[in-house]
Structure 1
């Protein structure tokens, strides 16, 4: 039986919107597929397991940004290795921003980022607090956004195109760099959009030479998630799935 190790980075600091639960979503869907899956909470570099099959980084408050950056700094070389090796990584909100060149706060101060992805987070004219609907190659992704910054200078491809909401600004949302996926989507995003979770699991299993096939129990859960997405679509006068 294939065993997956899913890392949740700094869940005590980066879980403001429940985004650390994305790791549990991956693990549960893997178990429903008949696999063994373990979530490892990583608080320091010493906690990082030798074998990592997926990484989840959640979102935190601006007050926690310096602490999160300082905690992640000793792990930056390991994270770079995982990115190069094609390990799927999901970073949400400030967890994404801290991977960038830096974060410009509203008071003019700057939190230097880890430099793993191009671009930086900059103050937006107004805070984005709304449903966020994005078209991607994984289908429509739905969640909510709650951020005061836009994102500029990304040299990677966007995650998708904004149908409703703000995203990065200029009609784009998130970024992808190889198998690193960054987004403003909360919800948690993988619970609301299980097809995205399955894409990450497909990548993780392929590295083991295995093929991911979702389990039977996933179908019922997927129907619930689809109904929730369609409720939002109807409210926003968008086509349903």
Structure 2
């Protein structure tokens, strides 16, 4: 059993520590005895056609535009989706997966990658602060997702995408929902990194890539981190 995790364009989409999501996936796979490797791809490098999970992070307006141009020219992310690989994108990475996204104070619309049926435009207020959401379709304490959001864009979902979660505290997409899911493509706004804060979500991505369920990991320090984060955002 092997797994390749691909971290995409950290020089463009890596300003909020979202590369930590790759480290979380790598360690949680390795702790289970899975032969997992991490491939880092920068502009000018070809995306591997062997990848199982592709990760995109946060970035500024100019970086988003550059990333879209490069990813369209490369074509590797579209091929990954076509062969049913997992794509997990955070904040700016989430926005560029959609049909279009706005940049700058004028909300100048740019064409996205079209891998998620979403569009993003500038919202009435910037979303900054802790966010707490309930993961749709899941139950129990692990269904609560925590993170830190920092974005000016509000995202509208089309019929082919479904919300990842429902917002309890924070803004998320701007309509009471957070994130989007379409097949094995997932987008979300929270940083943290979000998979360090929410190990059940990390395991969900691993299970999607592997095609089977995983036994839970007993890590008391992770449970304690979640307890503290949930308590902090709930006040």
> TM-score surpassing 0.5?
yes
**Residues paired across the two proteins, number:** 228
Is the Cα–Cα contact under 8 Å of residues 3 and 36 in structure 2 kept in the other structure? yes
Deviations 1:41-79 (A, max 9, x none): 112474322311111111101131221112211233x32
Alignment of 1:1-241 (within 5 A): 2-44=1-43, 46-76=45-75, 78-105=76-103, 106-136=105-135, 137-138=137-138, 139-155=143-159, 156-206=161-211, 211-216=213-218, 219-235=219-235
Match of 1:238 in 2: none
Distance in 2 (alpha carbons) for counterparts of 1:88 and 1:49: 13
Q: Which range moves more in the overlay, 97-106 or 127-136?
A: 97-106
Distance in 2 (alpha carbons) for counterparts of 1:234 and 1:140: 11
Is the Cα–Cα contact under 8 Å of residues 157 and 180 in structure 2 kept in the other structure? no
Is the Cα–Cα contact under 8 Å of residues 115 and 185 in structure 2 kept in the other structure? no
Alignment partner of 2:48: what SS? coil
Q: Which range moves more in the overlay, 185-194 or 112-121?
A: 112-121
Distance in 2 (alpha carbons) for counterparts of 1:80 and 1:7: 14
TM-score for the superposition, normalised by structure 1: 0.88
Query: In 2 relative to 1, CA 143–123 (structure 1 residues): closer, same or farther, beyond 3 Å?
Result: same
* Alpha-carbon distance, 1:114 to partner: 1.4
Is the Cα–Cα contact under 8 Å of residues 96 and 112 in structure 2 kept in the other structure? yes
Distance in 2 (alpha carbons) for counterparts of 1:221 and 1:205: 26
Is the Cα–Cα contact under 8 Å of residues 131 and 233 in structure 2 kept in the other structure? no
Query: In 2 relative to 1, CA 221–5 (structure 1 residues): closer, same or farther, beyond 3 Å?
Result: farther
Is the Cα–Cα contact under 8 Å of residues 193 and 225 in structure 1 kept in the other structure? no
Alignment partner of 2:128: what SS? strand
Is the Cα–Cα contact under 8 Å of residues 47 and 77 in structure 2 kept in the other structure? no
Distance in 1 (alpha carbons) for counterparts of 2:100 and 2:234: 37
TM-score for the superposition, normalised by structure 2: 0.90
Is the Cα–Cα contact under 8 Å of residues 205 and 212 in structure 1 kept in the other structure? no
